[in-house]
Amino acid sequence: MTEVLRIEMVSSNPRSLDQVSNMFKEIAEKMGVRVKGPIPLPTKKLRITTLRNPSGEGINKFDKYELRIHKRIIDIPNPDERYIRSIMGMTLPEDVKISIIMLTT
């Protein structure tokens, strides 16, 4: 029975997301822990189209807004306890949300 530590990261800013994933990877390389990833998942695009003129008279002009949500996954098979403690103490940018899940197979 093997354990896998899965780190899922979500952000609207791909640069900060890549920065955080590189931090996780560097810490793992320093401690000698194997790392699979970061694996990029498909980007979600949230689109909103609004009418620019509130009265609706005249030429219809629209404003289009888009928010892209980027995701990355890092898998760490058989994680070391020191690695788990070190990633829990990291300071992360405000726009990156992470979730850490322990999977057993």
Strand order in 96-104's β-sheet? 36-51, 62-77, 3-11, 96-104
Tell me the helix, strand and coil percentages in the chain, rounded to 5. Answer: 25, 50, 30
Residue 71 has pLDDT above 90, yes or no: yes
Quote the pLDDT of residue 105.
75
Per-residue pLDDT of 8-30, as tens digits, reads 999 999 999 999 999 999 988 88
CA 56 to chain centre: 40
- Provide the residue ranges of all domains of the chain, joining segments of one domain with +: 3-104
Residue 1 has pLDDT above 80, yes or no: no
pTM: 0.80
Mean pLDDT over each residue of the chain, to the nearest integer: 89
Residue 56 has pLDDT above 80, yes or no: no
CATH class for domain 3-104?
A: alpha beta
Residue 65 has pLDDT above 90, yes or no: yes
57 phi and psi angles, rounded to 5 deg: -90, 150
